[in-house]
Amino acid sequence: MSQSGYSLSAGRLSWENLRRRPFRTACLVIVVFILAFTLFGGSLLAASLQKGLQSMAKRFGADLMVVPAGYGEKAEGVLLRGEPSFFYFDGALAAQLAEMEGVLQASPQCFLTSLSTECCDAPVQLIAFDPATDFVIQPWIAEDRQNGRLGGRPEGGLGEGQLVVGSRIDIRSNGTVQLYNHEYPVAAQLSETATGFDTTIFMTRRTMDLLKEAAHREGFGFIADGEPEGSVSAVLVKAGGNVNPNSLAQAIKRNHQNVDVLVSQGILAAIAEALEGFVAYINSFSIILWIVAVVVLMAVVSGSLNERKKEFAILRILGAPRKKLVRLVLTESSLTGLAGSLAGLGAAALLIFPFNTYLSLKIGLPYIRPGAGGLLVLGLVSLALSFAAGPLAAISSAVRISRAETYWTLREGE
């Protein structure tokens, strides 16, 4: 008769016990599973939103955005959600604003939209900037290049006919994007911003003129064709050091009729407020769930240990010290805790990672997933917190059962 001589360690004894009570084990695992799923999912969501807001604040660059009157909301759609849109007013405004007191820099931008059949399978926003005065797009490109994101190109400024595209624009395998039946080389793809810039294509004024000319030859017409020469869509304004952007916005509106002024601070503050409420909701929900989980686990463990008093009495009779009983109970709860928290984390990852974009669209707030390091920290913290709930809920019962006088537990168990 050959028998394998495996060890009856605490782990093995616990495992046999868990296996014999599949329903109770499943309950314990499911409670921890839900906990881990929620903790990881919730913290990932909160971290992604915070990162999204940070990057949005960094990328806004300009303090004010001056657009034609009545187009404030459309401009906000371009900025926040990349909803393609175009509108025009007199380009002389840029120069006038630059002269104004309290204005440090002013730079005009021209908007256009692409056709839906090419490039991105949907119309996207095209934005042309003025290389001479631009203080938003070019520093961004430079920063990305410095962070090694752009692989060394473009070397100098943006060349004629070249494009810079947002992070969610797909580039063709030959490194181009097609616009109005012509292929244009992509000089750089920008980092993720969680703003409308992710689905925007940037170019210089000169390139946009070339693009329009090429499109005219293909027989396309633009609304902008009817606009006077030198029309622009928006003027980005950077306020001077001590100037309050809100007062500057009011001053601009006083001096110029027919303009709307977007204050980026105001937009950001509104988003930050919505985000704060959302994150507070996630956090308080997580805390409450954690407490509920510990209480539920406590009840289940305590109930099951009462039912198993006789078993522990037998172990005492066979010479198990109190410490050993505590260890057995804690090993059991650790095993269920580990299984539940790993499964919960895995399920959350499986659901959240593929649906990243969908979630960010549904939430309607800037959303950027943390990098590998951030994900690792979130995962480990969620794992530790959900795993700890098991042993933590079991410890008081474990100590109680180990302190009981064996004579009585044996008699009660009969």
Q: Which residues bind another protein (CB under 8 A)?
A: 1, 3-9, 13, 16-17, 19-20, 82, 116-117, 119-122, 124, 168-170, 198-199, 311, 313-324, 350-351, 354-358, 361, 405-407, 410-411, 414
| Residue in this structure with the two tokens 């692989």, named with its chain if needed | 151
Distance of CA 154 to the CA centre of its chain: 28
Secondary structure element (H or E) that encloses residue 327, with its range: helix 322-352
For another protein, which is the closer residue by CB, 167 or 231? 167
For another protein, which is the closer residue by CB, 296 or 359? 359
CB of 252 to another protein, least distance (A): 33
CB of 228 to another protein, least distance (A): 28
For another protein, which is the closer residue by CB, 216 or 403? 403
User: Distance (Å, rounded) from C-alpha 412 to C-alpha 404?
Assistant: 11
User: Distance (Å, rounded) from C-alpha 169 to C-alpha 193?
Assistant: 13
CB of 293 to another protein, least distance (A): 26
CB of 169 to another protein, least distance (A): 6
User: In the numeric block, which tokens belong to residue 181?
Assistant: 């039946």
CB of 176 to another protein, least distance (A): 12
DSSP 82-93: -------B-THH
For another protein, which is the closer residue by CB, 120 or 289? 120
Short-list 272, 330, 305, 258, CA closest to 56: 272
Does residue 381 sit in helix, strand or coil? helix
In this structure, the strands spanning 182-189 and 176-179 are antiparallel
CB of 173 to another protein, least distance (A): 11
For another protein, which is the closer residue by CB, 268 or 315? 315
Bridge partners (DSSP) listed for residue 234: 109
Short-list 183, 181, 153, CA closest to 171: 183
For another protein, which is the closer residue by CB, 216 or 362? 362
User: Distance (Å, rounded) from C-alpha 345 to C-alpha 341?
Assistant: 6
Tell me the one-letter amino acid at 333. S
For another protein, which is the closer residue by CB, 6 or 242? 6
| Residue in this structure with the two tokens 């595209």, named with its chain if needed | 165
CB of 235 to another protein, least distance (A): 27
User: From the CB of residue 18, how many other CB atoms can be counted at a distance below 10 Å?
Assistant: 20
